[in-house]
Chain A
């Protein structure tokens, strides 16, 4: 597995840096919903990701002999990004962020404030409130947001280190629903833009990266694939391919054909 992404190797790209921390891969992956920890660890390895997300939950007191997920995630190899998944208010998300910082190894938090149980779409008002508070407390906030430019701008103004607009709802696998919104957010923000949630397969990841965003985060697309390790490899390649295609600059689209072979010298 290459240590650097293809774009860096070709000299076209620089490593992704968030709040001074450099990441060797632009693919971030979650650790939820795998069949078991062994499968999760193998998929993470195949993905080439350095940044992996984890959730904070109660210790199950009657099943405490089970190995903690930390036994399967070497903190010297992976950068653990605690999330506030499942939080429905700013207050709850702030509480979970503090617990995650205490449990973890860094000040980063993937901030989620969910507004609706069916779609799991972010509550922008609660998100902004929680982001402002956590930034003041010294957190490096990566905010999971709607694909809405104004919310993204407000999050940047609030001091978020990265904004993470969704491709489509969490766990939906619907792919990139609004490339225009994602491109607009990327164009207008100075902080890194990491598209989070909704990709289903490799072409989705490639398309996301072709929009020019700085990175992509996924979980269900790997965990619910028929073969998670193979899909993790596909996603690694797709993320690199999309990034490199963006950097290379695609040809213009035309409504008419342009021959690839010479039009002269034909045999008559």
Chain B
């Protein structure tokens, strides 16, 4: 399977095949309801996660709520 590299939360991350963002969250064991996904600085809505495929050089940010003032 073809391998490629993305930048995930600022770190290089190897992926193979043609995974969607939903696949990535699943691999990372993250609940899509509790995470917001930004792909190349654009927010990806929950319903788009399954149809958004990742490619070489993509910058992905996975964020959620933490304690703050």
What separation, in Å, do the CA atoms of A171 and B63 have in the docked complex? 24
> Which chain B residues in 16-57 approach chain A with CB under 8 Å?
28-30, 34-36, 38, 41, 43, 45
What 1/0 flags go to A220-234 for Cβ under 8 Å of B? 100000000000000
What separation, in Å, do the CA atoms of A205 and B57 have in the docked complex? 50
Give the secondary structure class of A's interface.
mixed
What separation, in Å, do the CA atoms of A146 and B39 have in the docked complex? 34
CB A106 to nearest CB in B, in angstroms, measures: 13
Contact pick for A70, options B34, B38, B45, B69, CB 8 Å? B34
What separation, in Å, do the CA atoms of A104 and B66 have in the docked complex? 12
Using Cβ atoms and an 8 Å threshold, which residues of chain A touch B36? 56, 99, 102-103
> Does any Cβ of B come within 8 Å of A68's Cβ?
yes
**B41 near A69 (CB under 8 angstroms)?**
no
Contact pick for A54, options B30, B61, B66, CB 8 Å? B66
> Which chain A residues in 148-170 approach chain B with CB under 8 Å?
170
What separation, in Å, do the CA atoms of A52 and B28 have in the docked complex? 29
The A/B interface has a contact count, at CB < 8 Å, of 95
> Does any Cβ of B come within 8 Å of A142's Cβ?
no
Contact pick for A56, options B9, B34, B45, B63, CB 8 Å? B63
**B69 near A103 (CB under 8 angstroms)?**
no
**A170 near B69 (CB under 8 angstroms)?**
yes
**B67 near A103 (CB under 8 angstroms)?**
no
> Does any Cβ of B come within 8 Å of A61's Cβ?
yes
**B67 near A33 (CB under 8 angstroms)?**
yes
> Which chain A residues in 195-225 approach chain B with CB under 8 Å?
197, 217-220
The verdict on A32 contacting B69 (CB below 8 Å), with A59-B9, A61-B9, A102-B43 known, is yes
**B29 near A64 (CB under 8 angstroms)?**
yes
Chain B residues within 8 Å of A, Cβ to Cβ: 8-10, 28-30, 34-36, 38, 41, 43, 45, 61-69
Q: Which 8 A-B pairs have the closest CB atoms?
A: A55-B68, A30-B69, A219-B69, A31-B67, A32-B67, A54-B65, A32-B68, A59-B62
